[in-house]
């Protein structure tokens, strides 16, 4: 979610809770920015320890003990919107325990930077590409006022933020490849879209010029599209295969095929490298054409994620979507599936100016498509997005404060189109409608790697049943 984090507890029905369980167990992505940070810091001669505690309870004593035992000078940490309370409290406790300084990154931390500094919850906040601030940390040149660095003015008490412009790396080939040494690579996965393991992620580009009102990616990475060279991307993929034995890679680019010609060259490069590698990416259906889809199939691409737009043009315009017509979208989805590429659509329930009737008609249309998977998310006004500003202006929600987040305030208060209870009920109905059909079960469970699927879903079902029994 563009660094905002995902609260996996969506849905209220039995079936939606099971889907959430499957997602939680099957999808475990590394935070690639931390691997970039490790590469930059090690290149400068610093000793780096990697701790992945993303699925641990930050309030358990042994979790804090793991970092304080190292007595680090600095902790470089990711922050999110979904879990910023636990993240900042954890870092505050670490600082008290061993005196470490804290460099954090994440769009939510930038949004609340003044309050975070005033409360002494971080020493540096990376603004823009985190590699800019981390580069200054590596070279010992951190200072207030630098592009990409949010710090308190020297000597100010309480700390007063020295605001600076975001810093972005234009020549992405100059950034060292992520250093995965110390990461527990065997833990990561992207089931069921990419089933072969070991699995890791890559970034072939950054930035997205589209202004979708709900999307946090432009907030985190900026609007201009910045692409790495094809040669550098293919070389990194080859390195991951040869050094770490990687068999699946998910490109985390906001729009992998923004430049369609470049995406074709990337597909040719991966195809011609003969890496025995499955890979996936996220893009937009209007940034695909038939030739690119065929090249994706030839190059080992096994999954494509994309947004599914409302079928009404007025709704798309209200959220600043620029989409291809429904018939074109359906044809491209069908062609991807014929090339052996699993398609996964994302539909946002509750966008402004979208009536419940229109949402239901879009959901019915989605059910006619040949997609392998679909995810229904509730419209969320993430801080920094145009939707957040619109929700406040229209009185659909109140502006969040850091104090509210630290107190555990609920983050989803938006009801621009319908009430939250209605949104969740529609989400449940949509999940059941899409996944409960026998033909889909046959296609996704039996025809695609039967034994792998049965093993995973049986294990997930058992754990889900035990959790439901404990909760009853």
The share of the chain scoring above pLDDT 70, in percent, equals 85
Which three-class secondary structure state does DSSP give residue 188? coil
Does residue 383 contact residue 111 with C-beta atoms inside 8 Å? yes
**Distance separating alpha carbons of residues 208 and 256, to the nearest angstrom:** 10
**Distance separating alpha carbons of residues 69 and 263, to the nearest angstrom:** 45
Class of domain 183-418: alpha beta
Residue-wise pLDDT for 196-221, tens only, equals 999 999 999 999 998 788 888 988 89
Is a pLDDT exceeding 80 seen at residue 356?
A: yes
**Distance separating alpha carbons of residues 222 and 371, to the nearest angstrom:** 30
**Distance separating alpha carbons of residues 157 and 162, to the nearest angstrom:** 13
pTM of the model: 0.91
Of residues 148, 159, 152, 119, the one with CA closest to residue 401: 119
CATH topology of domain 32-162: Rossmann fold (3.40.50)
Q: Could you tell me the residue ranges of all domains in the chain?
A: 32-162, 183-418
Residue-wise pLDDT for 271-329, tens only, equals 999 999 999 999 999 999 999 999 999 999 999 999 998 887 776 676 566 678 889 99
Does residue 415 contact residue 349 with C-beta atoms inside 8 Å? no
The share of the chain scoring above pLDDT 90, in percent, equals 58
Phi, psi of 235 (to 5 degrees): -65, -40
Q: Which residue has the tokens 């505690």?
A: 53
Residue-wise pLDDT for 359-416, tens only, equals 899 999 999 998 999 988 888 888 999 989 988 898 888 888 999 989 887 665 565 6
pLDDT in the model for residue 42: 98
Q: To the nearest whole number, what is the mean pLDDT of the chain?
A: 88
Q: Which residue has the tokens 């580069």?
A: 135
């Amino acid at each position: 979610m563009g660094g905002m984090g995902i609260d996996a507890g969506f849905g209220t029905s039995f079936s939606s809770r099971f889907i959430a369980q499957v997602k939680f167990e099957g999808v475990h992505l590394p935070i690639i920015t931390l691997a970039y940070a490790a590469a930059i810091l090690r290149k400068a001669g610093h000793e780096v320890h990697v701790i992945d505690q993303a699925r641990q309870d930050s309030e358990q004593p042994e979790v804090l003990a793991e970092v304080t035992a190292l007595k680090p000078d600095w902790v470089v940490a990711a922050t999110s919107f979904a879990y910023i309370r636990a993240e900042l409290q954890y870092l505050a406790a670490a600082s008290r325990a061993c005196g470490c300084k804290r460099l954090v990154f994440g769009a939510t931390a930038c949004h609340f930077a003044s309050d975070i500094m005033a409360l002494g919850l971080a020493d540096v906040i990376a603004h823009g590409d985190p590699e800019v601030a981390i580069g200054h940390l590596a070279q010992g040149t951190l200072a207030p006022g630098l592009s990409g660095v949010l710090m308190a003015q020297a000597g100010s008490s309480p700390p007063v933020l020295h605001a600076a412009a975001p810093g972005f790396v234009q020549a992405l080939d100059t950034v060292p490849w992520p250093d995965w040494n110390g990461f527990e690579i065997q833990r990561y996965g992207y089931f069921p879209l990419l089933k072969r393991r070991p699995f890791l992620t890559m970034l072939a580009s950054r930035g997205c010029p589209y202004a979708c009102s709900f999307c946090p990616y432009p907030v985190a990475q900026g609007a201009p599209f910045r692409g790495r060279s094809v040669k550098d991307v293919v070389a990194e993929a080859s390195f991951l295969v040869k050094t770490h034995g990687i068999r699946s890679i998910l490109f985390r680019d906001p729009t992998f095929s923004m430049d369609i010609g470049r995406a074709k060259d990337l597909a040719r490069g991966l195809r011609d490298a003969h890496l025995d590698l499955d890979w996936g990416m996220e893009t937009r259906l209007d940034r695909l054409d038939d030739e690119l889809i065929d090249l994706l199939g030839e190059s080992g691409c096994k999954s494509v994620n994309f947004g599914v737009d409302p079928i009404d043009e007025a709704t798309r315009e209200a959220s600043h979507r620029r989409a291809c017509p429904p018939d074109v979208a359906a044809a491209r989805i069908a062609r991807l599936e014929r090339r052996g590429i699993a398609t996964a659509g994302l539909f946002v329930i509750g966008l402004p100016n979208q009536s419940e009737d229109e949402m239901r008609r879009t959901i019915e249309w989605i059910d006619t498509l040949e997609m392998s998977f679909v995810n229904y998310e509730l419209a969320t006004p993430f801080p920094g997005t145009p939707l957040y500003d619109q929700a406040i202006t229209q009185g659909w929600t109140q502006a969040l404060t850091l104090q509210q987040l630290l107190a555990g305030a609920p983050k989803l208060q938006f009801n621009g189109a319908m009430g939250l209870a209605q949104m969740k009920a529609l989400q449940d109905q949509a999940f059941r409608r899409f996944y409960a059909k026998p033909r889909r079960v046959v296609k996704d469970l039996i025809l695609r790697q039967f034994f792998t699927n049965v093993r995973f879903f049986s294990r997930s079902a058992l754990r889900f049943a035990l959790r439901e029994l404990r909760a009853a």
